[in-house]
Structure 1
Amino acid sequence: MTSLSTKKTPSKHLSSSNIPQEAFDWYDEYAHGDIDRRTFLSRLGTLSIAGLTLSVVAGALTPNYALAEQVSFNDPDIIASYLEFDTPNGHGKGRGYLVIPKNVNADNKAPTVLVAHENRGLNPYIEDVARRLAKAGFIAFAPDALFPLGGYPGNDDAGREMQKSLDGNKIEGDFMDAATLLQKHAFSTGKVGMVGFCYGGYLTNTLAAAMPDTIQAGAPYYGTPAKANIEKIKASLQIHFAEIDQRVNDTWPDYEKALKANKVDYTAYIYPKTNHGFHNDSTARYDEKNAELAWQRTVSFFDKTLRA
């Protein structure tokens, strides 16, 4: 596994130990559209947090993407570009961020990994995840579900509303066509893995069920199960959960029962004292130790399942 420079949480970023758990719970409700921004801020205002203002706490919970770069976009070991592609099963046209290791070509092919973003479009954190995968030797492709509406707007609040307005079935179709693109890419070995976060975790579970002959390995992070076809999954799954994430974790017992019943090869990890989104290094929900452990496991999992 290619090592990356160690990412440290910047001192200007509050750590989770400085923020009451209620604030994380309310942010999770806000991020998933259960409450609006006014309600979220109003609730934060009821907390007594010594020495910290409402704006500081809200700012710590809200993504600051200037912090979310572990691999530079101009790293000499990778070649990154944006690619438009046909999505006959989705919105008709899609666009994504394609990152290829510099030493990969038609004569030196590599396995591929589809990267699925959260419920707000292709933000800088997800682009960085794609670069990390390329740095580890995989061809990575991260589609933007918001492309039909002009693409990720640079603002998570707007991105969330945009994604909510789109047909979910068509978004799934866009990502399915992206998986097919990777399988057939001229530099691809034909092996396709998938990793996704939050909504992208749901997409990872869904594509594993819907495309059993395409997706060979899936690593969903705090994602809900596929709604259908679990019995068709052939992929190996490595499933990552945050311990303090009741909304997602409540879905796990039934999902695990279905995976066992259908003899799916899976491993599940629950990371102690972490919140939903703990891998995202742009907010105070980030847990460096557990995020790095989860990522090491993920890269090793793809090495094992896609390079054989």
Structure 2
Amino acid sequence: MLKEEVDSLAPGRDFSRRGFVQTTVGSGFAAAVLPVAAQTITTDTTGLEAGSVTIPVGDFKMPAYRAQPAGKKNLPVILVASEIFGVHEHIADVCRRLAKQGYLAIAPDLFVRQGNAAAYTDIPKLIAEVVSKASDAQVNGDLDATVAWAAANGGDTTRLGITGFCWGGRTTWSYIAHNPKVTAGVAWYGPVARSYFAGDKSVVDRAASIKAPVLGLYGAADTGIPVETLTQLEAALKAAGNTKSEFVVYPDTPHAFYADYRPSYRKAAADDGWARALAWFKKNGVI
């Protein structure tokens, strides 16, 4: 069970509130996170091509949410890896926020083979039945297919970034270890000293394979990600020659501080982290 996810949700959720379970990728909110907060940010699609797409992964058809500036080609690409709750409205909104900055942003449904993450109300059951069954090998293969799709649909994958949140934050580190062609990454509060799928290595254990610059954004009050594990990863990266990666740890800040639809949201840290993320991608060539 992921304590940081449970701690970041309010008790007594009212499932009659708006935004119940998504019916298509990128729509609605996951049942486990309802009710959504009044502060929830919604980004419009003016000037964008946005919506669900299908990505071939061999014979499998994987759904994804994509947003990009309308009518533009050769766009820098950012992969968006979701939290354990899948590609719901918040993740779609992150894609639209990035598209407004000039990116082709795409969030594949990396749990779709295991089930509908958005339908679960019980987090331990969601982790046991869905999240813990999505291996790094499967996820990395799905992201490889997503990169290929982006290259064929208006993206310039020589300028390739990845960002993600919680499970997706760990996925950001993991995919960069897998794919040396990633230009840069931004990992939001992703665990680095443990894995989800039995047998997968931790991020710390794969540090020598992480060559691209990664910005890690974390909260000092995150009960599931001890700050000392970040120090351990930072030392391992530097020992392997990766001196460009950086960590920002916000004092008195919990897990999921960027998730504006949840009570864990901390506007000051979220705004600062977003500004740093955009600057990081530009500084490191994803522009």
Fold match, TM over 0.5?
A: yes
**Structure 1 residue 281 displacement after superposition:** 0.3
Query: Per the alignment, do residues 209 and 162 of structure 1 end up closer, same or farther by CA in structure 2, a change over 3 Å counting?
Result: same
1:255 corresponds to which residue? 233
Query: Per the alignment, do residues 29 and 143 of structure 1 end up closer, same or farther by CA in structure 2, a change over 3 Å counting?
Result: closer
Counterpart Cα distance in 1 of 2:34 and 2:282: 30
2:198 corresponds to which residue? none
Answer 1 or 2: which has greater helix percent: 1
* 1:153-168 mapped onto 2 (5 Å cutoff): 153-155=118-120, 157=122, 160=127, 162-164=129-131, 166-168=133-135
1:187 corresponds to which residue? 154
**1:258 alignment partner AA:** A
Aligned pair count? Answer: 253
TM-score (norm 1): 0.72
- Structure 1 regions of 5+ residues with no counterpart? 1-25, 42-53
Counterpart Cα distance in 2 of 1:307 and 1:146: 27
* 1:33-112 mapped onto 2 (5 Å cutoff): 62-65=33-36, 67=38, 68-72=40-44, 75-88=45-58, 92-105=60-73, 109-112=74-77
Counterpart Cα distance in 2 of 1:185 and 1:227: 34
Residue 86 of structure 2 is aligned to residue 121 of structure 1? yes
**Structure 1 residue 149 displacement after superposition:** 4.7
1:302 corresponds to which residue? 281
2:106 corresponds to which residue? 141
Counterpart Cα distance in 2 of 1:175 and 1:197: 15
Q: Percent identity?
A: 26
Deviations 1:163-188 (Å, cap 9, x if unpaired)? 23633232343223323433x23412
1:202 corresponds to which residue? 170
Counterpart Cα distance in 1 of 2:3 and 2:248: 23
Query: Which secondary structure state, in structure 2, belongs to the residue aligned with residue 298 of structure 1?
Result: helix
Aligned-residue RMSD, C-alpha? 2.9
**2:267 alignment partner AA:** E
2:6 corresponds to which residue? 30
**Structure 1 residue 154 displacement after superposition:** 4.7
- Structure 2 regions of 5+ residues with no counterpart? 18-31, 193-202
2:21 corresponds to which residue? none
**Structure 1 residue 29 displacement after superposition:** 5.7
